[in-house]
Amino acid sequence: MADSDAGLVAGLRALSIAQKPVGEAETARIAGRYTEAKEHYLSVLKELVRDQVAVPLSSSHPQGGVKNDVYMKLSNGDKVGFMCCCVYIAQCLLKESDIEQALYWLEEVNVMYQNVLFSLKEPLWDWDWDLTYWPEDPRMSFVVLTSRCLASDIFLSLGNSGTAVWQRYWTNYPRAPMTHISPQALEVYNQTKLNEIIRIRHPDPALTPSLKVTVPSLQVLGSWKKLDAKKMNGLMQRLSFSTFIWKGYLYLAGGRKDSLGPFYRDLWRLNLKKLGSWTRLPDYPIAMSSSGAFLGWTIIPYNDKAYLFTGRPNVDVFDLVTQQWSSFRTSYTPTSNDRRHGGIEGRWMYPGSQLTDSTQQIVDGKLYVFGGTHGTTNIGCNLFMVLDLQTRQWTRLSGTPMALKPDLSSPGPRKTPSSWVDATNNKIYVFSGECARNGAHLQNEPHGADDGYAFADLWCWYIKEGHWKRERMVGNIPCPRSEVAFTWNPKLGKAIVWGGLQSRCPD
């Protein structure tokens, strides 16, 4: 028996239930009877949760979020044994060439480990959980290491090099306490393999010609085509600009040439069907001294108008039919709860009346705004606000302008997250984003560190119910990232993310 396998077997011995079904599962697995082995491992899992929940829960199940009360109540020994069973089921599925289901079970290990975080008496920030926390039982860290390294190998085989590197690199084993470092752990961690894959670019041009579609349900199908407009008409190359599409036209606004400028406040559009010439529209009329630079802002088309909220009480509007700018005044009256629990100190929710790098959506006449940086924070916030476009009144839904204590019931503080609205118009999804701890470090703000932290999470705000839920991410998942190009395609019924910055892996 390999040393790594011996480590998992030791984890199974931590179970509080009878060992007979465990032994039957082991016998079947070693003999190559993988279907039988899976059934035995699954019976162990069902006994552990006493059939209170299905294992694994589908991400679409009403209780299919990451937080699970049944998982939280298990003893640490049973949590370890549970995760070992999941890894063994994944290994059996790989023997049967069922990669998709194998990844599903490996994600269940991550879900169980996250419930260890939810069980702590003192909650931790995500970055402290990843960087400094180690469970008391080395068997738990070993099975998590095994699961992530196995997942890393699968992601690499699918061409998902970014997630492959992240899964193995962020096991963080070189920083583990000595009680957690064992020959079995070092064998699984495999520093040589890590050294090889951290040199890979994402995607790596050298690997692209050899990539094949091996699991169509887990790989993006299609091909790229470069679109060239016939005439630029003076439109300059730029960074940090804003875009949206409305009735077959691509609109582009603001941005900068580089970090020193020049800073643009122009507005352009291109007919995507004809791909003729870019047309310049009226420039954004608000002075930079009032609004700040046109960088990291979001413009949202809705009912023939494009809405631009920059953190000021005034919301700017571009009429897409008349092609004219206008503004309207909004108001906000902080409640006692906003002041007590939401950290609202003045009469306005965004210090300095500035907001950049937030994510915004309009649903049924209401503008939802989450995260971003403002006048007193560079790391990003987790404030979640909604504006009724008819009454022009703001309401705080969750979060604070400056997150000082971890709150596991809502997304952590961040900038440049991605978001989209599902087909039912009842769910707003928020994906990843970055807590710019390096920016906070330079400004002596709370949570400062040498490096930024990209979140590895997916949250959903249920509009009618009025609460957050951290969702599971299964399949060939993207690695944590910020500054992403993203969209929701209603015809495909899928969210599409592309590119971005990964601050949690070596360059």
Domains of the chain, residue spans: 3-218, 224-301, 330-498
Mean pLDDT across the chain: 93
Taking only the tens place, the pLDDT of each residue in 25-40 is 999 999 999 999 999 9
In one-letter notation, the amino acid at residue 467 is: H
Alpha helices in 31-75 (DSSP H): 34-49, 69-73
Taking only the tens place, the pLDDT of each residue in 96-115 is 999 999 999 999 999 999 99
Q: What is the model's pLDDT at position 1?
A: 37
Strands 427-431 and 458-462 turn out to be antiparallel
Q: What is the model's pLDDT at position 4?
A: 60
Q: How many percent of the chain have pLDDT more than 70?
A: 98
Could you tell me the maximum CA-CA distance found in the chain, to the nearest angstrom?
A: 76
- Tracing tokens 């509009």 back to the chain, one arrives at 463
Taking only the tens place, the pLDDT of each residue in 272-303 is 999 999 999 999 999 999 999 999 999 999 99
Alpha helices in 50-135 (DSSP H): 69-73, 76-95, 99-119, 126-131
Q: How many percent of the chain have pLDDT more than 90?
A: 82
Provide mean pLDDT across the span 314-329: 98
258 close to 239: Cβ distance less than 8 angstroms: yes
Question: What are the CA-CA distances from residue 39 to residues 43, 95, 96 (Å)?
Answer: 6, 15, 14
Residue 411 has pLDDT above 70, yes or no: yes
- Reply yes or no on domain 330-498 having CATH 2.120.10.80: yes
Taking only the tens place, the pLDDT of each residue in 166-209 is 999 988 888 899 999 999 999 999 999 999 999 988 888 888 78
Class for the domain spanning 3-218: mainly alpha
Provide mean pLDDT across the span 450-479: 95
d(CA 449, CA 120): 24
The three-state secondary structure class of 157 is helix
Of the candidate ranges 62-71, 213-222, 228-237, 339-348, the one whose mean pLDDT is the lowest:
62-71
Taking only the tens place, the pLDDT of each residue in 473-490 is 999 999 999 999 999 998
Q: How does residue 357 score in pLDDT terms, banded at 50, 70 and 90?
A: very high
218 close to 231: Cβ distance less than 8 angstroms: no
Q: What is the model's pLDDT at position 5?
A: 76
Q: What is the model's pLDDT at position 117?
A: 93
Question: Tokens representing 133?
Answer: 């926390």
